[in-house]
A and B are shown apart, each in its own frame.
Chain A
């Protein structure tokens, strides 16, 4: 099925550990995004990639790095996890190369539930 695939679905890390969240889309979309979802905060943009080879910071980039490996894949890395990074992480993609805003909407992955203890 066409869509956005995120791995893993669940992860528990100890403070200070590192990990990479993977995201892949098979819709030939140009733009990809990483969001985090926290209670009462809605979804907040961490990083985005308007096209292959480019990445930009979003609203809450501190503590994260990203890589746009190719057109399909956009990974999110936590170098030294902190309890404040406990959250649900969503990857999304969209057509076009319009930076943050996708005029025709987004396709989201199922999310990765990350707990840092």
Chain B
């Protein structure tokens, strides 16, 4: 099975900060990598698919990059509504999620 490792597990940041979350796959997954945002008590919401494609309706401050085994999710200017948990997920072989990164208010 493909393992996905996110870092950091949590971070504290302020409104307006630039935030980057990384995700590493245990083997190459090409660009079969997606990013989701989840808020407490809610189902996850797709932000980025195919490593770098912004889902319709998602603000442009969110961006994704990478291919192969190393990927990033960047929020260029953190907004109050962005405090949430973020997950990467591979779809190269079955499906696997990273363990999540909780973004908290500093």
Question: Is this pair of chains taken from one and the same complex?
Answer: no
**Interface set of A (CB-CB < 8 Å, partner B):** none
